[in-house]
Amino acid sequence: MSSNNKKENPLVEVLKVLFYFLLIALVISALSACGGGANEAVPPQSIPITDPSASDGAQEDAGFIVESEASLRATGSASPAQTYSLIESVFGEGSIEAPDLFTGDHVETAHIIEETDSTVGPHFVFLAHRDEDFNKGVQSDRQRNEIKTYDKSDSAVLGFEGETMQFEWYFYVSSDMSLSSKFSHFFQLKARNSSDSNENGNDDQPVITLSGVEKDSSGKELQVRHSVGFNMDGSRTSDVYLLKTNWGDITDEWVKISVQATFAEEGSFSMQISRMEDNVTVVDINEPHIDMWRGVSGEDFIRPKWGIYRSVAELDKLRGQEERVKFADFVIRKGTP
């Protein structure tokens, strides 16, 4: 009786197995050559400043051609030392002006900490204490807890004459925060001049400030101010208000703030503030012809500052409880509008 189940030669079976293994190896090799490995390691950046034009060409964002970008994002660290190190890795050593860093000031507690929430994730919390905090170690009519870029920062985060920059961040402040009729600044664009000359306005007054003020007649007010600096005789000029609006428009929720400025005598400035919850724009400032330059030499620049810088001249208007102001995801870009 004949059978159709013929047993194959053992050598043929071995060759089949080898063929299958060879085929699998060729497929894996082809995928690796194409960079398709899902677990492929990406080396970390040693400098948190990127140059889009060095790779895929300049990037365009709503008509703005990005030439460089720097970002500062919280990691959620519980270590103040790591938080301060992170900030200085982007803005430069010495870029933090917190009371705990100055002898004779409120050194017992860290004034910039990190927390995490479900809306923005890790973020920075700036603290202010009415009765303990001074101004960089000096007891005066004001107190300061800020971060800034300055002459030791990378040039990518400084604005030189003729340059256009964008600044973006997320911001949270409580409606319960106490304000005075003087000033409480949360963001500034400030000039740094190599000379004390008043020829072009000096660098004493901030060019732009975002502030909260307590008005006797209308309650708390959000303000954006512009200054042209000192007069030639050294007298101080009055601020021009680009915005006065209800403080409650931005409180008790995260908002996104976007700024674009061209630093020139005939410069430009815009600021938009939108609520994250519903993406409604509550502040929209556009000044296409505005004096945004105070410099007198090629070494001069404009730099951003964030935090809490406030007057304590009206101490009775400020509550004794710790004040907390939150910031997240700072981005600084240079480019062409």
Domains and CATH numbers, the chain: 64-70+148-336 (2.60.120.200)
What is the structure's pLDDT at 232?
87
Residue 90 has pLDDT above 80, yes or no: yes
pLDDT tens by residue, 40-60: 333 333 345 565 544 444 445
Distance CA(235)–CA(151), nearest Å, equals 26
233's tokens: 């005789």
Farthest-apart Cα atoms in the chain, separation: 122
pLDDT of 23 > 60? The answer is: no
Note the pLDDT of residue 49: 57
Residue/partner pairs of 103-107 with CB below 8 Å, 24 or more apart = 103/137, 104/134, 104/137, 104/138, 105/133, 105/134, 105/136, 105/137, 106/132, 106/133, 106/134
DSSP assignment of 236-267, as one string? PPPPEEEEEEEGGGTTTS-EEEEEEEE-STTE
Residue 168 pLDDT exceeds 70: yes
Distance CA 297, CA 314 (A): 38
Classify strands 208-215 and 219-226 as parallel, antiparallel or unpaired: antiparallel
Count other Cβ atoms within 10 Å, centred on residue 309.
23
How far is residue 259's CA from residue 205's CA, in Å, rounded to a whole number?
A: 19
pLDDT attached to residue 25: 53
Q: What does the mean pLDDT of the chain come to?
A: 87
CA torsion angle for 141, 302, 177, 277 (degrees, to 10)? 180
Measured distance CA(240)–CA(225) in Å, rounded: 6
CB 206 within 8 A of CB 193: no
pLDDT in tens, 293-309: 999 889 999 999 999 99
Q: Which residues of 152-171 are buried (b: 16+ CB within 10 A; e: fewer)?
A: ebbebbbbbbebbbbbbbbb
Taking the C-alpha atoms of residue 183 and residue 313, their distance in angstroms, rounded to an integer, is: 10
Distance CA 147, CA 130 (A): 19
Of 14-23, 93-102, 257-266, which range is least confident?
14-23
Least confident of 25-34, 129-138, 177-186: 25-34
CB neighbours of 17 closer than 8 A, spacing ≥ 6? Answer: none
How much is the CA Rg of the chain, to the nearest whole Å?
28
Measured in residues, the chain has a length of 337
- 84 φ, ψ to 5°? -65, -40
- CB of 308 within 8 A of CB of 325? yes
Q: What is the pTM of this model?
A: 0.83
- The pLDDT-based confidence of 19 (bands split at 50, 70, 90) is low
The CA-based dihedral angle spanning residues 284, 289, 294, 299, taken in that order and rounded to the nearest 10 degrees: 90
Band of the pLDDT at 13, cuts 50, 70, 90?
A: low
Determine the 3-state secondary structure of 53 from DSSP: helix
What is the three-class DSSP state of 114? strand
C-alpha triplet 171, 186, 250: angle, nearest 5°: 45
Among residues of the chain, what percentage have pLDDT more than 70?
82
